[in-house]
Amino acid sequence: MPGTNLKFNTGGATPRMTAMTTPEDVDAQVRDAWEQVGRLGLILGPGCVANLKAPEKNVLQLRKSVELTANL
C-alpha cells in the first residue's frame, strides 16, 4: 500500500544548533538528520522557536546544507 513505509523527522534545527555552533557543525547536523530518516522525508525546521541570536551565517548555512544534500 502506498505511503505505509514513510519516515519523516521534523524539527531538528534547534536554537542551540544555529546559535552556538559553526557553519561546518550546522552542515554536519543536517547530514546527520538525513541519515536518521534514511534520506527520505526530512522536514527540517526550528521546532517551536528560532533563536534570534543565531548568527546569520549559521541560518544561511542551514538552508544551503539542506539544498546541497537534498539530492544526494
Residue 9 forms part of a structural domain: no
Residue 19 forms part of a structural domain: yes
Tally of structural domains, the chain: 1
C-alpha–C-alpha distance, residues 18 and 24, integer Å: 11
Residue 63 forms part of a structural domain: yes
The pLDDT score that the predictor gives to residue 64 is 92
Q: Which domain holds residue 55?
A: 15-69
Q: Which pLDDT tens digits describe the chain residue by residue (72 residues)?
A: 455 555 555 566 666 767 778 899 888 888 888 888 888 777 777 667 777 888 899 889 988 998 888 876
Residue 10 forms part of a structural domain: no
Residue 62 forms part of a structural domain: yes
Cell 544551503 belongs to 64
